[in-house]
């Protein structure tokens, strides 16, 4: 109405236009994130006449993790979060993680070498302006090894790969903050020394 009364070039018209106009922004197609992780691994062997390997209580490991996602063909091309068919990749590597072991003669601390990578295909759909659901099929590989432990340390190295299916619900709680809840089923393809009869 102000533009109609006073004209678009008038002071009133420019103020009204600036407040009312919205320039659509292209949907972002790429996201990358990095941070620290903290986890724990334990081993509980259940078998008749158990002689080895030893039980391995949960031991924490920590390190750095980097994840990236690209959704190159969004269905919602403007004013939306990541959506459509996408691809993800992630890597992690432990740092400063140790396990304490007493071999009967001495107590020592030994480094934990934990690393992993994963790649996945996803489909992401925005249910509302604040909610999105993401379904995906990832493939991953993870190792958990003790490179310098003595022979008496009987816990096997773990080197496994998996194929998974999962879904995640994301809540956009702020302009640049998202909280996610999800679950994944992983089918193990290989388990390394954990199931090796030679070990």
DSSP secondary structure, the chain, as one string: -HHHHH-TTSHHHHHHHHHH---PPBPP-EEEEEEEEEEEEEE----TT--SSPPEEEEEEEEEEEEEEEEEE-SS-BS--S-EEEEEEEEEEE-S-EEEEE-SS-EEEEE-EEEEEEEEEEEEEEEETTEEEEEEEEEEEEEEE-TT--TT--PPPEEEEEEEEEEEEEEEEETTEEEEEEEEEEEEEEEEGGG-S--
- pLDDT tens digits for range 152-164: 887 888 888 999 9
* Residue-level pLDDT at 12: 57
Q: How confident is the model at residue 1, as a pLDDT?
A: 66
By the 8 A CB rule, do 122 and 81 touch?
Answer: no
Chain segment 26-52, per-residue pLDDT in tens: 888 999 999 999 999 888 877 777 676
Categorize the per-residue pLDDT at 98 as very low, low, confident or very high, splitting at 50, 70 and 90: very high
Query: For strand 107-111 and strand 131-145, is the pairing parallel, antiparallel, or unpaired?
Result: unpaired
Cα-based angle 90, 92, 98 (whole degrees, multiple of 5): 165
pLDDT on residue 23: 80
- Supply the pLDDT for residue 62: 95
**In terms of Cα–Cα distance, which of 64, 160, 1 is closest to 10?**
1
C-alpha atoms less than 13 angstroms from C-alpha of 193 in its C-beta half-sphere: 14
pLDDT in tens, 100-144: 888 778 889 999 999 999 999 999 998 877 899 999 999 999 999
15 contact partners, CB below 8 Å, separation of at least 6: 2
Is the model more confident about 179 or about 17? 179
Structure tokens, 94:
């432990």
């Amino acid at each position: 109405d102000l533009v109609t009364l006073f004209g678009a070039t008038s002071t009133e018209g420019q103020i009204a236009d600036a407040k009312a106009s919205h320039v659509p922004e292209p949907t972002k197609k790429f996201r990358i994130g990095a941070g620290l992780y903290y986890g724990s691994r334990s081993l509980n062997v259940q078998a008749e006449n158990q002689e080895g390997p030893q039980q391995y209580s949960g031991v924490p490991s920590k390190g750095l993790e980097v994840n990236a996602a690209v959704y190159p063909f969004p269905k919602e091309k403007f004013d939306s979060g990541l959506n459509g068919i996408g691809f993800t990749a992630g890597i992690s590597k432990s740092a400063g993680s140790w396990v304490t072991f007493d071999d009967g003669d001495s107590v020592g601390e030994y480094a934990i070498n934990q690393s992993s990578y994963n790649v996945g295909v996803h489909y992401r759909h925005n249910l509302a302006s604040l909610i999105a659901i993401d379904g995906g099929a990832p493939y991953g590989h993870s190792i958990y090894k003790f490179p310098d432990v003595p022979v008496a340390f009987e816990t096997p190295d773990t080197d496994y790969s998996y194929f998974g299916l999962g879904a995640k619900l994301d809540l956009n709680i702020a302009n640049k903050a998202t909280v996610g809840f999800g679950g994944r089923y992983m089918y193990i393809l290989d388990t390394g020394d954990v199931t090796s009869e030679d070990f």
